Each structure stands twice: as C-alpha cells, then as structure tokens.
Structure 1
Amino acid sequence: MTQHQAADTVVIGGGQAGLAAGYHLRRLGIDFVVLDAQAAPGGAWQHTWDSLHLFSPAAYSSLPGRLMPPQEGETYPDAAHVVDYLTDYEQRYALPIVRPVRVEAVHRDGTHLRVETGAGNWRARTVISATGTWWRPFLPAVPGRADFKGIQLHTVEYRSPADLAGQRVIVVGGGNSGAQIAADLAYETDLTWATLREPRYLADDIDGRALFDHATARRRALDEGRSDTGGVASLGDIVAVPPVRTARDAGLLKAQPMFTRLTATGVEWPDGTRADADAIVWCTGFRPALSHLAPLGLRGPRGHLLTTGTQAIGEPRLHLLGYGDWTGPASATLIGVGRPARDAARAIAALLGNA
C-alpha cells in the first residue's frame, strides 16, 4: 500500500502567494506544509529578465508581517532584491517548505484530498493552490509562426538586450512586460514594437500603491452592489516606470499596429507591408497554471476555476490564491496577496474546526 504523508493543509507553490498563505496559516495554528517545485526560494522572481523592477517602493511591496527593506540606490527594487526578501521571509517565519517537489495532480479521496507529487503523496483536509501563471506562458495563434526561421522568445525566456544586440527585433505586446522589454531593447537593437492597440500609459505619478488602492476600491464597490469602477484597466495598461518613461520621452517607443502573419524572414501587415526580423519577443501574457487540478473537474471559462472569494465552487476544501483579481483584488502582487491569503486561512480554519 502506498504510504502518504499528511497535513491539515497542503499549499502548492512557494512563491509570494504561498508564503503569504503560510504566514496566516501559522498564525491560526493550522498544521500545514508548502510544496514548492523550485530548487531555491524566490518563486518566479528568480527567473525574470535582468532589468525588471517593481512598480512600487519597497515599503509598498511587502507581504504580511514583514516590511520589505529598501534597496540602496533604488526607489523601485529589482527582482534580485525581491528574491532576497522572499528568502528572508520564509526563514524568518520558519515556514515548512519542502522543495523541490512538483505537484502532479490533486484528487478527491473520501474526506481528504490526495496531492500526488514526484516525491510521494500527501493526504490533506484542505489545499491552497498558489502556483501562479509564470509557468504557463501564452503564445497567440498567429499564422506563420512555425515558418519563422529566426529566434522566438516569450517573456519567460528573455533575459538581457546583450543577447540580441545588433539584431532586428520585434517585441509583441502592449502591456507592462511589452513596454519594459521594448524599452530595454530600444538602445541596442533595431526595434519594432507591435501592439494590438495604441499603448495606454498611466499617469507618470501612478505606481503600484495607487493601483492596489484602485483595485481594492473596485472590489469594495462590487461587494456593496455599486457600479463597476472599471478597475485598474480603466486607468491604462502600462505603468510608466523610469526606464519606460525615459525611452518613451526619447521617442524610442513608437508602437506599430499588430501584424497579421509571420513569414520565414519576418512579419507582414494587413496592407502587405513586410519587415524582416532576426528575433521576436512575445510579451503576450500568461494563463493560470492549474493543470494539477484537472482531476477535480472544476474547469471554468478561460481556464479559470469558478470561485467565491478564494474558495473553489464545487470543492470547498480547495482555495486558489494569487492568480489575479478573480482570486482577490490585486492578489497576483506582493502587496495585494496578503488580504486574500488571510481570508483563505480563516475559511480553512472554520472548515477544519467544523469537521
């Protein structure tokens, strides 16, 4: 018979959402374990491009219970500073993290959920899935993509302009990643920036603090039955962090309409205009990394699972945390994940106490 390890709660994912969940579970005295597929602390932050910085100052980019210290010489900390902070955070609170352990599937098993991993199985009374989206990059079905002979990278694979220096590069995507990577490449490559619509920059004085406040106000309005404020998307798509602002003001970020197909040597627009390219960087977003939950049969529209708050509809023993606004306002951000993590932990405590 297969031996199972057991915990009242298994948290899947040891990035920022998993750590926030662990903090609140510990405060409530719940027996839990965090299973993390990564070999080291830091979640997705240890895999980002070299120049990535936060949208907010350190004090406004903190997990519950521990302020992020400022980074010397930087208003907006870089990704390496975030990794150091997350490493310190899990050590400071002695969170029970087991790594590297990749969760393959979650099954119903009578009164428990069975969490299958490459290193054995766990039996849990409740599960928090906090795997994020970084591990499931999205590539649009653009005609001719397989015909292009040059380099194709997604955001997750891009590291530095030095890797593409002197080349003809097309960056695709009008969100924050697209703008930041286009700004990164603007000085050392022959850059074309292709977007579905004209880029919409937020006001230069808006950063992650204001975005979090706006997302929270929207959720409060919806919960109270008031009209939808439109959320962060109503303000714009791109936070004008200093490198983006500098490149934009220098006239280096001139977006072109989205092309309609790829050719062997480049791209083609609807009017037949073509441009040659050596590389294409797809900054086209992500989808929730939820394949491990497929055996539960809870899939909803666009790959989302239907939830009320963080709790899965159809499986009350499961909570989802950190995937975006559908699992809590700004829950995919450092500052935003604390509140839904607290709510999930309280709901789990109530469920376990009533069992």
Structure 2
Amino acid sequence: MIGAGQAGLSAAYFLVRAGLTPGVDMEVLDANPTPGGAWSHRWDALTFDHVNGLHDLPDSAIGPADPAEPAREVVKRYYGRYENEKSLKVQRPWRVRSVETVDDGDARFRVTADGPDGATRVYLAGAVVSGTGTWDRPYVPWYPGRFGGRQLTTRDFTTPTDFVGRRVLVVGGGISAIQFVMLFDESGVDTLWSTRTPPRWRDCPFDTNAGREVEMRVAARTRAGLRPRSVVAETGLPTSPAVLDAIDRGVLVSRGPVRALTDDGVDFADGTHERVDVILWATGFRASLGHLAPLGIRERTGGVLMADDDVSVVKAPGLFLVGYGRSASTLGATRAGRRAAREAMLATERRDRAISSR
C-alpha cells in the first residue's frame, strides 16, 4: 500500500479485515513524516469549519472537533488515532521511487522506496495499491511572457499576513481559490481574482444523488483513459452566507482569464492590464503517478485507462489506484479502498493458483 491518506488508510483497513497482517503480509508506506496525508501540509488559516466535507474512515468516526482549530491538526490527530487503533503499522517517511514489473515467484512488482538518512528498501509484491493523491503535483498553466514578481502555488501558501502591503492576483476557479480571496480580504490584502471561465456557483444542495452523478461523469472519463477533470468542473462552486456576502461586496468577482504575463503584472483577455506584486496559482493539481512511470500506464491523452470497477488499471493487472478519478473525494476514497482491497486479494489468489498449476 503506497500512501496513507483517506484512500490508503481505507484500503489498508479492508486488507487487514481480509486477513492480512501489517508488517508481515502487507506494508503501508507513506512519504509524509506525520499522519494526515495531504492535510498535514495545509495552512493554519484553513480551519475545520471551512473544510468542504470530510468523510469518516471505515469503522470509525472523526468525532467532535473545534471548528476554529486548523483542519490540518484535526485530520492529523484523527488519522494518527486511526492508524493506532487499527494497528496498520504505517512506515514513514518512506517515499516510493518506482514500481516495476517482475516475474519472481508469486511477485508481480518490485517496489523501491527511499527513506530517512538515504536508506533504501526494496519490496516484492503480488499486488500494489497506490493512493498517492495529487499534493506533490500542483498545476501551473502556461502563459506567454514573464512575471518579475513572486509566484507560488496552493502547496506553498502559509498565511495571508505574509502578503500584507502587496497586491496579489489569485488565479483559479476552485474552492481553494475563493478561500484564498476571502482570506486575503479578511487580512486587508489588496486582491484580484482571475478565472479562465465565469465562476459557476451552485445554488442547490449537493446531496447523495448529485454526488453520484458527478462520480459517474468522472468515471466515464477515466474508463476512457482521459485525465480526470477538476472537482469544481463537475460540481460547481458551493455558496454560503460568507461567500454570498463577498460576491455582493465585489470581492468574489472574477476579472476573467489572463492573456499574458508581464514584468510588473498581467494582461487580461479583456485588454486591460493590472500591476501586481504576487501571483498565487490556485489552479489545481495533477495525479501524482511518477513512481508508476516504469509500468507505462499513461495513455496519450494523459490519463490512465481504468477498468469498470474504477480501481483496477487495465494495462497493469495487479495494480490498483485509489484516490484517483472517481475516488478523489474523501467519501469516494473510502469506497474505493474497499474495492481495491477486494480486487487485490483476488488478484494475488489468482496468481497463486496460476503458479501452483505450472
């Protein structure tokens, strides 16, 4: 098991329920120094009351949490407690460098991981479940020109007070982008907002039926080998009293798409120019799949061709992706963990039978 975020912990739990023993029949490797997955890197100002939903891990409940506490600390504590309660024996910080195919007895894969002080481990595995998420691969779109000021991504952000006295352009049409704009506004930072297309606000509740429809649209893309679209592209942006107030005050009003970068700012598609000191690219992430490059699973379209169970990789039998495509949400990740664990057990059983019949 590679990765100990929501999807990885869910898969590990169901593998244990299927009879595997952590540290003996299975290993859970995580690149982060602490529990929490990508949540462990989030900024202080992202308090738990601003989190856009966090689903419980299987056979567990997150329980009450202080809404004013940084979401990072709430999730780190919850995931750490879960790892201990379920005896998952997560190995960290171990970053998987590569996964390669082998034909070594009952093994399909060779997994190489780098750890503390330059240490290296090599594992042979009959199946691999990869839940490495997207945090390691922030996406920055290309624009002509060159900007002479500071640029950063969501991954680099720490606190809005770092930008007091500067003019900031937030680029991106997702939930994190609107959170940044509102944080800057609360801190008195002069801020502009740019989106590639007009913001699509969602004025209806995002219930179970809506969630299922979104998942099926995402699944249709990954089953065709296409790159998953952003969550907001499928769901629209949620509103709240604070968001609606920010819209009414002109804070959350997009200037439209950027056309080009200049030394002192940006040119917009409407022909105007704005001087800015900082550009914050809140333009999303791509799946972190570099460790799987030796397997050649990427399609020319940039995606991975997934089977109808949405966890099995068609080009690499025995490899399962969780937290990818349909299972990118915390609810989807939990369900995908169950499916991946079941399919991984079946895959190793089939290989064992094939080897014994030779």
TM-score (norm 1): 0.84
**Length, aligned pairs only:** 326
Per-residue CA deviation, residues 80-104 of structure 1 (Å, 9 max, x unaligned), is: 2122111111111111211111111
Q: How does 1:97-176 map to 2 (within 5 A)?
A: 97-110=90-103, 111-118=107-114, 119-144=120-145, 147-176=146-175
Cα distance between partner residues in 2 of 1:152 and 1:221: 35
Question: In the alignment, is residue 201 of structure 1 matched against residue 194 of structure 2?
Answer: no
- Match in the other structure for 1:54: 51
- Match in the other structure for 1:184: 183
- Match in the other structure for 2:322: 321
Question: In the alignment, is residue 28 of structure 1 matched against residue 18 of structure 2?
Answer: yes
Cα distance between partner residues in 2 of 1:69 and 1:38: 24
Cα distance between partner residues in 2 of 1:274 and 1:306: 42
- Match in the other structure for 1:8: none
Cα distance between partner residues in 1 of 2:238 and 2:74: 20
Cα distance between partner residues in 1 of 2:303 and 2:279: 28
CA spacing shift, 1:131–1:242, aligned 2, 3 Å: farther
* Matching residue's letter, 2:265: G
- Match in the other structure for 1:14: 4
Whether contact under 8 Å (2:42, 2:71) holds in the other structure is: no
User: Identity rate of aligned residues, in percent?
Assistant: 38
- Match in the other structure for 1:42: 36
Q: 1:335 aligns with which of 305, 325, 331?
A: 331
- 3-state SS of the aligned residue for 1:24? helix
Q: How does 1:46-85 map to 2 (within 5 A)?
A: 46-52=40-46, 53-56=50-53, 61-73=55-67, 78-85=71-78
Question: In the alignment, is residue 298 of structure 1 matched against residue 291 of structure 2?
Answer: no
Per-residue CA deviation, residues 83-136 of structure 1 (Å, 9 max, x unaligned), is: 211111111111121111111111111042000112221111100111011110
Cα distance between partner residues in 2 of 1:217 and 1:303: 19
Q: How does 1:265-276 map to 2 (within 5 A)?
A: 265-276=264-275
* Matching residue's letter, 1:179: I
CA spacing shift, 1:135–1:208, aligned 2, 3 Å: farther
* Matching residue's letter, 1:316: P
- 3-state SS of the aligned residue for 1:98? coil
Cα distance between partner residues in 2 of 1:184 and 1:69: 27
Cα distance between partner residues in 1 of 2:237 and 2:284: 14
- 3-state SS of the aligned residue for 1:257? coil
Question: In the alignment, is residue 345 of structure 1 matched against residue 341 of structure 2?
Answer: yes
Whether contact under 8 Å (1:39, 1:99) holds in the other structure is: yes
Alpha-carbon offset, residue 50 of structure 1:
2.5
Cα distance between partner residues in 1 of 2:2 and 2:220: 31
- Match in the other structure for 2:356: none
Cα distance between partner residues in 2 of 1:70 and 1:180: 23
Cα distance between partner residues in 1 of 2:267 and 2:233: 31
- Match in the other structure for 1:4: none
Cα distance between partner residues in 2 of 1:126 and 1:221: 25
Alpha-carbon offset, residue 219 of structure 1:
8.0
Alpha-carbon offset, residue 231 of structure 1:
12
Cα distance between partner residues in 2 of 1:305 and 1:82: 29
Whether contact under 8 Å (2:34, 2:76) holds in the other structure is: no
Relative to structure 2, which stretch is displaced further, 263-272 or 341-350?
Answer: 263-272
Relative to structure 2, which stretch is displaced further, 150-159 or 248-257?
Answer: 248-257
* Matching residue's letter, 2:267: E
What runs of 5+ residues in structure 1 fail to find an aligned partner?
A: 1-10, 223-229, 326-330
- Match in the other structure for 2:259: 260
CA spacing shift, 1:320–1:158, aligned 2, 3 Å: same
Alpha-carbon offset, residue 215 of structure 1:
3.4
CA spacing shift, 1:217–1:300, aligned 2, 3 Å: closer
Cα distance between partner residues in 2 of 1:20 and 1:192: 39
Whether contact under 8 Å (2:98, 2:292) holds in the other structure is: yes
- 3-state SS of the aligned residue for 1:335? helix
TM-score (norm 2): 0.84
What runs of 5+ residues in structure 2 fail to find an aligned partner?
A: 115-119, 222-228, 353-358
Whether contact under 8 Å (1:180, 1:243) holds in the other structure is: no
Per-residue CA deviation, residues 230-286 of structure 1 (Å, 9 max, x unaligned), is: 997687521225653442243311111112111110011245421100100001111
Per-residue CA deviation, residues 298-323 of structure 1 (Å, 9 max, x unaligned), is: 11144322111211112111001102
Per-residue CA deviation, residues 160-206 of structure 1 (Å, 9 max, x unaligned), is: 21011121110001111111111111232111101111111112x63
Cα distance between partner residues in 1 of 2:219 and 2:142: 37
CA spacing shift, 1:193–1:262, aligned 2, 3 Å: same
